[in-house]
Amino acid sequence: MTKQFELTVDRIKCDGRGLCAEILPERIRLDSWGYPIVAPGPIPEHLMGLAARAVDDCPVLAIALRRAQVQKQRPK
């Protein structure tokens, strides 16, 4: 049983640069003002590489990967 990860965004650090949505459009899209809406839930295995890149490329380190939490799902 492999570990599952999910993406979280620090909303105060995020200033709408939009790189994450470019790198991982399968899980992240931009709202009407350019800020990321992240699909809730764990990242599929085949997208983990891109997710790691999205985390790494964020100019302000606002997005991160954390262990998937097995509880309520809120839209981010």
Partner 1 sequence: MSAPQLLAGPDPSRGSERRAEHVARLGPLPKGGHALIELLVHTGLTGRGGAGFPVGLKWRAVAAASHGSAVVIANGAEGEPHSRKDRLLMTSRPHLILDGAMLAAASVHAKQVVLYIGEEHHAAMRSMSGALTERTEHERRMVRIVAAPPRYVAGDSSATVHLVDAGIATPTTTPPSPRDRGVGGAATLVQNVETLAHVAVIARTGIATDTVLITVAGGVRTPGVFEVNVGTPLGDAVQLAGGASEPVRAVLVGGYFGQWVEPAEAWSLPLDPHALRARGLSLGCGVIGLVPASHCAVCEVAGIMRYLASESSAQCGPCFFGLRALADACTRIAERGTDPGDLQRLQRWSAEVQGRGACKHPDGVVMFLQSAMKTFGDDFAHHPAHIRRSA
Partner 2 sequence: MNNAVLWYATRGAGAVSLVLLSAVVVLGILSVLRVQTTGWPRFLTVGLHRNLALMTLVFLTLHIVTAVVDPFTHLGWLAAVVPFSSYYRTFWLGLGTIAFELLLAIVLTSLVRGFIGQAAWRLLHWLTYAAWPFAVLHGVGTGTDAWSAWLFTLQAFCVIAVLAAIGYRFMTGSRDPLADARSSFQGAVDRREPR
Chain residues binding partner 2 by CB under 8 A are 13, 15-19, 22-23, 33-34, 56-57, 59-61
Judged by CB under 8 A, which of 14, 23, 28, 43 binds partner 1?
Answer: 14
Work out how close the CB of 19 gets to partner 1 at its nearest, in angstroms, rounded to a whole number. 15
Which of partner 2, partner 1, none is residue 10 near (CB under 5 to 8 Å by kind)?
Answer: partner 1
Q: Within the chain, where are the H helices?
A: 19-23, 48-57
DSSP category for residue 41: S
Cα–Cα distance for residue pair 32/17, rounded to 1 Å: 13
